[in-house]
């Protein structure tokens, strides 16, 4: 690895926060002090954040937050930044740190699936263990890269898990491993599966990020999507592009948003298919906008 000028931190913890507004104010203050950008959600149920800054400053921030005993054992994941991963800093108080709108009985502070480590998963793969990986990210994230042979429930949003549950029915009695980018979504997703009769559910500690830091290029096909302006994360190691342009099927890892603002679908589109004045996910979306333009 070369000299990293910028670094991106990814962290979360489900832990009771008595005064989310006060904690959010403190986090914002420290982030401003260290010149960090990014976002962090603070709720009564915990925190979920990602910040970018100069590497040393992100480390100073990490030290400060780990000094708070509520977060002393919080795992902080690190990846290379580019100095422009986030346009600004946003620290917000929310009801949930991941918007699931699940019933309140789904509470990782009380019950969630057991975790396995990247090492254990590597062993499962090596031994040819009988298990199925369910990818709890959104469909468009799955498209640029995912664990080999993993199941994509086709979520448009974390809120949709109850809706896609029937698709996962065949895995109810199987050994299931839920995965997501850094682990935060799986805390509730895996609990939701357990609550709904799935017998043997585990979640991957630190998510794909943790696995790829440890085993770059192994068992994961394509690139790891990230919700910042890097769009995908690179951990080194061999990597094949598996994403395909929604419009022409050419291999690509380039994401765009549908230029029909009413649609705004996030999808993969190769350079050739990207229009100068915007890219449309479908001819329907193109027609909507172009007809409006004609009648205007």
Kindly state whether residue 181 participates in binding Zn ion, applying the rule CB under 5 A: no
Q: Is 204 exposed, middle or buried (0-12, 13-18, 19+ CB in 10 A)?
A: buried
Tell whether residue 263 is a contact of Zn ion (CB under 5 A): yes
Residues 6+ apart with CB under 8 A from 248: 270, 272, 273
Pick one of 17, 177, 191, 258: the residue that binds Zn ion (CB under 5 A): 258
Structure token pair of residue 39 = 């976002």
- Cα–Cα distance for residue pair 261/263, rounded to 1 Å: 5
Q: 30 burial class (0-12, 13-18, 19+ CB within 10 angstroms)?
A: middle
User: Of the two residues 139 and 213, which places its CB atom closer to Zn ion in the complex?
Assistant: 139
User: In whole angstroms, how close is the CB of 230 to Zn ion at the nearest point?
Assistant: 21
> Among residues 122 and 286, whose Cβ is nearest to Zn ion?
286
Q: Does 265 bind Zn ion (CB under 5 A)?
A: yes
Reduce the DSSP state of residue 87 to 3 states and report it.
Answer: coil
- Residue 245 makes contact with Zn ion by CB under 5 A: yes
**Least gap, CB of 208 to Zn ion (angstroms):** 26
User: In this structure, how many other beta carbons lie within 10 angstroms of the beta carbon of residue 14?
Assistant: 20
Least spacing, CB of residue 100 vs Zn ion, in Å: 25
Residues 15-34 that bind Zn ion (CB under 5 A): none
Give the nearer residue to Zn ion in terms of CB position, either 32 or 292. Answer: 292
Q: How far is CA 136 from the centre of its chain?
A: 9
186 is catalytic: no
The catalytically annotated residue of 180, 258, 273, 281 is 180
Q: Which of 22, 72, 248, 292 binds Zn ion (CB under 5 A)?
A: 248
Site for Zn ion contains 268 (CB under 5 A): no
Question: Considering beta carbons, is residue 216 or 278 the nearer one to Zn ion?
Answer: 278
CB of 284 to Zn ion, least distance (A): 7
How many residues make contact with Zn ion (CB under 5 A)? 12
For the record, the structure tokens of 280 come out as: 């449309």
122-146 burial code (b ≥16 CB/10 A, e <16): bebbeeeeebebbbbbbbbbbbbbb
239 beta partners: none
| 98 binding Zn ion? (CB under 5 A) | no
Verify binding: residue 247, Zn ion, rule CB under 5 A. Answer: yes
Kindly state the smallest distance separating residue 225's Cβ from Zn ion, in Å: 18
CB distance 279 to 256 below 8 Å: yes
- Which residues are part of the catalytic machinery? 180
Residues lying near Zn ion in the complex (CB under 5 A) are found at 245, 247-248, 250, 258, 260, 263, 265, 270, 273, 281, 285
């Amino acid at each position: 690895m070369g000299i990293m000028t910028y670094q991106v931190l990814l962290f979360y913890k489900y832990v009771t926060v008595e005064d989310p507004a006060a904690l959010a104010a403190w986090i914002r203050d420290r982030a401003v002090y260290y010149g960090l950008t990014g976002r962090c959600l603070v709720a009564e149920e915990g925190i979920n954040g990602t910040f970018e800054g100069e590497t040393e400053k992100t480390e100073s921030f990490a030290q400060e937050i780990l000094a708070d005993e509520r977060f002393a054992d919080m795992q902080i994941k690190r990846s290379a930044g580019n100095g422009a991963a986030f346009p600004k800093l946003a620290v917000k108080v929310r009801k949930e740190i991941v918007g699931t709108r699940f019933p309140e009985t789904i509470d990782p502070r009380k019950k969630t699936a057991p975790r396995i480590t990247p090492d254990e998963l590597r062993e499962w793969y090596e031994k040819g263990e009988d298990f199925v990986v369910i990818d709890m990210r959104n469909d468009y994230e799955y498209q640029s890269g995912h664990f080999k042979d993993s199941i994509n429930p086709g979520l448009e949003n974390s809120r949709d898990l109850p809706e896609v549950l029937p698709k996962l029915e065949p895995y109810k009695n199987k050994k299931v491993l839920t995965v997501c980018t850094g682990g935060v979504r799986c805390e509730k997703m895996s609990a939701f599966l357990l609550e709904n009769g799935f017998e043997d559910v585990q979640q991957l500690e630190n998510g794909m990020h943790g696995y790829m830091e440890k085993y770059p290029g192994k068992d994961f096909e394509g690139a790891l999507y990230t919700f910042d302006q890097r769009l995908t994360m690179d951990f080194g190691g061999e990597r094949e592009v598996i994403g395909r342009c929604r419009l022409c099927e050419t291999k690509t890892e380039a994401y765009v948003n549908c230029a029909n603002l009413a649609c705004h679908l996030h999808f993969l589109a190769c350079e050739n298919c990207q229009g100068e004045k915007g890219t449309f996910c479908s001819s329907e979306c193109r027609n909507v906008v172009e007809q409006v333009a004609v009648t205007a």
